[in-house]
Amino acid sequence: MQVKNCLYNALLQLVCMLLLFIIPIIWWEMSGISSIDGLPISYLLLSVGSMLCLEGFCYLALPIDLIPDSIPLIGYADDGLAWIVIVIGGWCLLLGMIMYLGPYLLMDMFG
């Protein structure tokens, strides 16, 4: 049972680490943001915000931290940084949605 649990954790670690490296590459290719000229800022905010949230959650899902939590004060710094990235990504998503849906909501409210 211990070996199976250890293998599962190792596989989860490998998948999360691969996702951390692959997500920005996939995002760059699929978003079409090779040039920012002519793109609406709401599209850029939605795209970057979703990537940041996904990166932060993938890092938090890692079973083994890059900096062990047993080290005083510094041990939780990497987890704190991941949460900061998630919060920044969430704010980007929120601003992007407000900027994208704002004109439509105003037209519905005021005719």
Q: Is the confidence at residue 101, as pLDDT, over 60?
A: yes
Higher pLDDT, 82 or 18: 82
24 vs 45: CA distance, rounded Å: 15
- The domain tally of the chain equals 1
* The pLDDT of residue 90: 92
Q: Which domain holds residue 84?
A: 2-110
Higher pLDDT, 33 or 9: 9
Q: Is the confidence at residue 111, as pLDDT, over 60?
A: no
Give the range among 38-42, 82-86, 95-99 with minimum mean pLDDT.
Answer: 38-42
Task: From residue 44, give the alpha-carbon distance in Å to each of 12, 33, 53, 77, 109.
Answer: 30, 8, 14, 28, 26
**pLDDT bucket at 69, cuts 50 / 70 / 90:** confident
